[in-house]
Amino acid sequence: MTTTTVTAAPTVPRRRRAGVVEGQELALIGVVGVLWIVLSLVTDTFLTSGNIQNILFTVAPIALIGIGMTAVIVTAGIDVSVGSQVAVVMVVVALIVRDAGTPFLPALAIALVTGIVLGAINGLLVAYGGIHPIIVTFGTLNIYRFVALQIFGTEQVAGVPGTFSPIGGGAEGRLLGVPTAWWLTIVLAAAMWCYMRFWATGRHLYAVGGDVLAARLAGVRVRRRQISAYVLTGACVGLAGCVLIGSGGLVQQNVGSGLELQVIAAVVIGGTSIIGGRGTVLGTLLGALLVGTVTSAVTLLSWPSELTQLFIGLFILVAVGVDLLRERRRSAR
């Protein structure tokens, strides 16, 4: 990011030297660590390899989509249509795998392309339509759900073969005891982390979110960056859809509904500012882990599962509140 002094814009505050982990991320690591220690002391089922694998696998789709969502939110956008995008991807892929017997890689490619097309529609509407991203994606949330339901026809897709079991939740979906989906997530997150930190176009994402006007004057191709963020989210959704199909079985019509809120919660808990211009993929990964841990904890402690949402809500408030406090202190200085 070149230094522009156009306006006193609330851009990324200048740091002495950016560390690998930042304050909020350290705090999150602490919270997740404490939770894990407490849970393994309180219950005897938490710290079993089965449970950890289960947490990592259920978190993987949220974290995967969160990678793209982080980019979108950093550009001061938002994408609430990811749940419906997942539904479209999953029904398309499930039908292809079941009825045409498509093997792993071509099916994965189709999933990615489907996701990218859906993301590109969002991106184009946001960049060229001049509509607020939340309105665009609220609209496409409905439209994509309609598309998915049309493809479903009258019933759910049953008997999907285990084409995707190498990245699924079963025993063959593990590498060194860790779900392959989680490895995928880590590799992608690492790549994205490097891109957003070291690449020029990656830094431009922050510039767009910090101050659109300043970014444009500094020569950032604002529209391209916006579209790329939504397209990336679509691609992540494609991958996550394959993970969710996993070892096959049943794909239901309400699949993915409400997923967007979990993803946004993970991103926001991870310290990404919803106003744009600040946030990292590492934080999102930790945020997703926290959400997964809480979900698992509520189940293991045999509390009513509805309480999970209450905790997620509280975590969002605490995370954003802490962030606001730090921001205030920073600007007061």
Partner 1 sequence: MTETQVPPTPVAERCEGVAARVLRVALTERVVLLAVLLVVVVVWFRVLGDGGYLLAPYDVRYLGNALESMVPFALLAMAELFVIVSGRGGIDLSVGAIVSLAGMVFGLMVGVWGWPLVPAVVACIVTGALLGAVNGALVAYLRFPALIATLATYYAYSSIALVSNANAPISTPPVVALHGLTRNVDLPLLPPVPLHVFTILLPCALLAWVLLSRSTYGRSLYAVGTNDVAAGYATQRVARTRFSAYVISGLLSGVVALVTVAQFASARPDAGTVGNGMALPAITVAVLGGVAIQGGIGRVGGVLVAALLVTWLNAGMLLAFDGSEGSRYQLLALGLVLVLSALLNTLALRRYGRLS
| Contact positions vs partner 1 (CB under 8 A) | 78, 125-127, 129-132, 134-136, 138-143, 145-146, 149-150, 154, 212-213, 216, 222-223, 226, 257, 261, 264-265, 268, 274-275, 304, 306-310, 312-314, 316-317, 320-321, 324
Query: How many whole angstroms separate alpha carbon 26 and alpha carbon 270?
Result: 10
* Smallest distance, partner 1 to C-beta of residue 213, A: 7
At 99, is the secondary structure helix, strand, or coil?
helix
* Smallest distance, partner 1 to C-beta of residue 147, A: 8
Nearer to partner 1, 243 or 251 (CB): 251
Mention every residue, 6+ apart, whose C-beta is less than 8 A from residue 134: 78, 80
Quote the crossing angle between the two packed helices 82-95 and 104-129, to the nearest 10°. 150
* Smallest distance, partner 1 to C-beta of residue 17, A: 29
Amino acid at 333: R
Nearer to partner 1, 197 or 224 (CB): 224
Give the DSSP H or E segment for 175. strand 174-175
Task: Answer yes or no: are the C-beta atoms of 6 and 217 closer than 8 Å.
Answer: yes
Nearer to partner 1, 84 or 163 (CB): 84
Nearer to partner 1, 125 or 243 (CB): 125
At 179, is the secondary structure helix, strand, or coil?
strand
Residue in the block written with tokens 């947490």:
55
Q: Whose CA is closest to 256, among 179, 176, 148?
A: 148
* Smallest distance, partner 1 to C-beta of residue 129, A: 6
Nearer to partner 1, 26 or 318 (CB): 318
Nearer to partner 1, 146 or 199 (CB): 146
* Smallest distance, partner 1 to C-beta of residue 135, A: 5
The neighbour count for residue 171, using CB atoms within 10 Å, is 9
* Smallest distance, partner 1 to C-beta of residue 314, A: 7
272: left (phi over 0), alpha (psi -120 to 50) or beta: beta
* Smallest distance, partner 1 to C-beta of residue 150, A: 7
φ and ψ at residue 162, rounded to 5 degrees: -85, 45
Nearer to partner 1, 47 or 317 (CB): 317
